[in-house]
Amino acid sequence: MEEIEAIKDLLVRIYGENKGGLAFNKIISQIERFPIRKRKGNGYFSQRDIVLITYGDSLHKKGDAPLNTLYKFAKRYLKGVFSTVHILPFFPFSSDDGFSVKDFFSVNADLGSWKNIKALGNDFQLMFVYVLNHISAESDWFKKYLRKEKGFEELAIEVDPSIDLSRVIRPRSLPLLNEVKKISEKTVHVWTTFSADQIDLNYKSIDVLEKMVEVLLYYVNQGARILRLDAIAYLWKEIDTNCIHLTQTHDLVKLFRKILDLVAPDVMILSETNVPHNENISYFGDGSNEAQMVYNFTLPPLLFYSFVKEDSTALSTWAKGLHLESESNTFFNFTASHDGIGVRPLEGILPNDEIKQLIEIVKENGGYVAYKLNPDGSESPYELNITYIDALLNKKMEIDKYHSNRFLASQAIQYTLPGVPATYIQSLLGSRNWEDGVNLTNRARTINREKLQIDNVLSELENPESFRSKIFYKYFELIKARRRQPAFHPNAPFKIIEVGSKAFAIARYCKDQVIYAITNISSKPVTVSLSEDGAPNRMNDLLTGSYLNKSSVRLKPYQYVWLTTK
């Protein structure tokens, strides 16, 4: 079979003839035990694909497992709106809100059980985080490594601390190596890209590869439809390199893709690489052999910048380059997530002085800035920690009467771009900066990870004057309208239309429909003309049902329209 031969070839390329052959035997034995599934349908994507991003414990109710609270809320409010629920790491963990996994095969008992996960999977497709770069220092696997148990001897990456590692690209300003003591009392230094509690896995060990393939297949068996390859860019390490995006890393992504193509061809890979755009999209591979989706990391900071400056020029220029050659690939579009707003994706797009202005705005709006360590020992901004809603707050106004409309306008642009849109639950619910959480954990990222009491949330949603209600229901109208439009298929052709710097306009096309999506990104009314396009002048706004003349579309501050002839 072609996939099996491709798997063998990749393993030989990564590990060499002998070691690659041993790795192949280990992996094939796992595949042979797995119930192979056939692919349903022809394509991966649809305009009905909308993803909700949430922690398993974002919603709480006394006496109820958080995953069950989430399930009941999702079934009541979100079914028919969101197609997929992305549950952030729900495994037993020791730090980093789930990303220091102690046991890849269990559900954190404080959240619920696999039964709760499967219940959610009965009504929604599921997206899991595949934390494959590292494991908790408190995990049984790492303890077995310290005890030098068979199959775990090479679990971690041991490095002599005298070796020069200055070329290594760092996402954190923390020590790259951390000292640990084995059962023999021998002290070694192990690689820790993100923190001392997150031990990088050594993929030069085929025992490690075998274990992580087992994890991959287990998640598929538990109902995962999309697997987020967490921190994938740093997977393979080689001394005297920058240890990011190495050839072996890409080959491992190709390996995971080939395994899934063989056993579960409906399951998609989503690469998570918070890096500049061209590096990010390298994980599409040749269009068919790596990730089906990549996080569109440039979108959140660039969209933020556009609304802050009330200037769409940079956004429009960048968006023109979002064309993809393969219908097997698309972008994963988002503005907010459990993490902050990445800064590195703006490299080469905005000058440093403009980025500094964004940093000052974030600080003024109650947010924080995280820094990364550069090879020369200096630090540079890596991430802006703030809710996306409060990032868009205009503190220059005594009362920002446009706050909710400005945020919704930003989301409207996200939902018109090519790709699959994803919305973070805190954005959907209109959450503001959680300063109490930051004080509690002493971690800046907590600002956008609030634990909400469901009864309080529902009470606010029932009040039409509450900020949550103003965001929630208008957001729903936006999503429902998008789901019905074939022209918003993730891979449908598009054209960025020049309408001046105060508005952003995109045309989306399919066989039977054209949509002109226009958004005023400014605090002043604007008039936009689309007269150069050949569609009839009188067009219907899908969001309001009203008819407008596209030759002269007058938009209120932060108003958005989706015009079509259908």
Does 261 qualify as catalytic in the annotation? no
Q: What is the pLDDT of residues 35-62, one digit of tens each?
A: 888 887 778 999 999 999 999 999 999 9
30 to 8, 19, 122, 154, 252: CA distances (angstroms)? 14, 17, 26, 21, 17
Where does 494-564 sit in CATH, by number? 2.60.40.1180
Catalytic one of 49, 57, 197, 230: 230
Helices (H) and strands (E) in the chain, counts: 17, 25
Residue 39 DSSP class: P
pLDDT of residue 534 exceeding 70? no
To the nearest 10 degrees (0 to 180), the angle between helices 454-461 and 467-483 is 80
Q: What is the pLDDT of residues 117-146, one digit of tens each?
A: 999 999 999 999 999 999 999 999 999 999
Residue 196 DSSP class: T
Mean residue pLDDT of the chain comes to 95
CB 316, CB 494: distance < 8 Å = no
For the entire predicted model, the pTM comes to: 0.96
Contacts for 108-114 with beta carbons within 8 Å, 24 or more apart? 108/56, 110/57, 110/66, 111/56, 111/57, 111/65, 111/66, 111/67, 112/56, 112/65, 112/66, 112/67, 112/68, 113/65, 113/67, 114/222
Measured between alpha carbons, how far is 281 from 291 in angstroms, rounded to an integer? Answer: 9
Q: What is the pLDDT of residues 444-499, one digit of tens each?
A: 999 999 999 999 999 999 999 999 999 999 999 999 999 999 999 999 999 999 99
71 to 50, 78, 349, 382: CA distances (angstroms)? 17, 10, 40, 34
pLDDT value at residue 465: 95
